[in-house]
Amino acid sequence: MTGTTHASTPGAFATAMRRAISLSTLGPSWGINPRVGCVLLDVNGAVLAEGWHRGAGTAHAEVDALSQLPPSAARGATAVVTLEPCNHTGRTGPCSEALLRAGIGRLVYGVRDPGPASSGGAERLANAGVDVIGGVSADEVSESIHAWLTAERLRRPFVTIKWASSLDGRIAAADGSSRWITGDPARHDVHERRAAVDAIVAGTGTVLADDPSLTARRPDGSLAEHQPVPVIIGERPVPDDAAVRRGPVPALVYPDRDLPTVLTDLFERGIRSVFVEGGPTLASAFLAAGLWDEILTYTAPVLIGGPRLAVTDIGVGTLTDAPRLTVHDVRRLGDDVLFITRPKGR
């Protein structure tokens, strides 16, 4: 007997999917693996067990949930999973096979796995006679793992460009002073986001001028539990005693400005998200090349004037050439405002 695959969104499973999404956020946002949550329901719709993925090398969400049940307790159950179960062997075995061994009767998932090697779990289960329903709460699931999905589909890290500027778009005064344009709440938000990505990227100009550590810190100044990899791009040498070389994670240095090659290498190293904080020259290079997925603009209610703009030439000769952005979110951080924008129409 062969199971069936549906693309509907039954309301009966939406509540369980929302719970699975919430569980997925308990896992790390960085690393090669996505955040995934799983809820197992009995034949009456009651929750049997829950699970989530805790990072590379640990049990996947489906296996984590199954591990909480005695043998045969999941037979005939419904597995509600945010991402299509994997169908390959990596550090752990395929979740599709684990679900089949447990005897589940139905799989409900949010979005398909875009990985060329790991996808196919839904088809594997359907071919084995399991009822498969896909696309449940797909928009919500996609947003919860937006960066990872984008990286997997584009085969490069998700690129976030960040700058802090005055209301008139300046990142520093005429004398170069820029500390601090924004207030404490905005700076704390930046560090929380740094601690949620794989790498921070800066140009050699910024490293030589500002000597940043490129670390993620808590409000008390201590290092956050997860530290991103510092990535330095540029031809000028970085001194051995630079702060970025004294940090908790060894820096990766790319002595050129071939951004596509840099991103490809980072992806192959398992880096799925990068935070570009390298000043206007590097930010403009990413923008001009179209190698960006999100912009964080921390705007302070102050006027500076002068030539030190957040972005330089990005190849826009006329207004019709200007890239249009979609405002994804706007947040008030003390006296400052954070605009989160993404490419329009992607």
* Residues 285-310: tens digit of each pLDDT: 999 999 999 999 999 999 988 888 88
Whole-number pLDDT of residue 210: 85
What b-and-e string marks burial along 264-285, b requiring 16 or more CB atoms within 10 Å of the CB? eebbeeebbbbbbbbbbbbbbb
Inside any domain, residue 150: no
Alpha-carbon torsion (19, 21, 22, 28), positive or negative:
positive
Q: Which of 276, 248, 249, 250 has its CA nearest to residue 262?
A: 276
Dist. CA 17–CA 11, nearest whole Å: 10
- Are residues 189 and 122 located together in one domain of the fold? no
Give the amino acid at 225. Answer: E
254, 248 in Cβ contact below 8 A? no
- What ranges in 87-198 are assigned the alpha helix state H? 95-102, 121-127, 138-144, 146-154, 184-194
DSSP classification of residue 303 = -
Dist. CA 329–CA 54, nearest whole Å: 28
Among 50, 62, 277, 294, the active-site one is 62
Q: Locate tokens 């591990």: which residue?
A: 67
- Are residues 183 and 295 located together in one domain of the fold? yes
232, 306 in Cβ contact below 8 A? no
Inside any domain, residue 311: yes
Inside any domain, residue 214: yes
Number of domains the chain is built from? 2
CATH code of residue 316:
3.40.430.10
Whole-number pLDDT of residue 320: 87
- Cα–Cα distances in angstroms (integers) from residue 73 to residues 40, 50, 65, 101, 131, in the given order: 10, 13, 11, 11, 18
Domain boundary among 145, 174, 203: 145
Cα 169 to the center of its chain, rounded Å: 27
Q: Which residues of the chain have pLDDT under 50?
A: 1-2, 6-9
pTM score of the predicted model: 0.89
3-class DSSP state of 297? strand
- Are residues 92 and 164 located together in one domain of the fold? no
- Are residues 194 and 313 located together in one domain of the fold? yes
**Other C-beta atoms within 10 Å of 289: how many?**
15
Structural domain harbouring 113: 5-145
Catalytic annotation on 84? no
Whole-number pLDDT of residue 248: 94
Per-residue pLDDT tens for 135-174?
A: 999 999 999 999 999 999 999 999 999 999 999 888 887 7
Inside any domain, residue 174: yes
Dig out the tokens for 175 from the structure: 């004398």
Inside any domain, residue 19: yes
Inside any domain, residue 241: yes
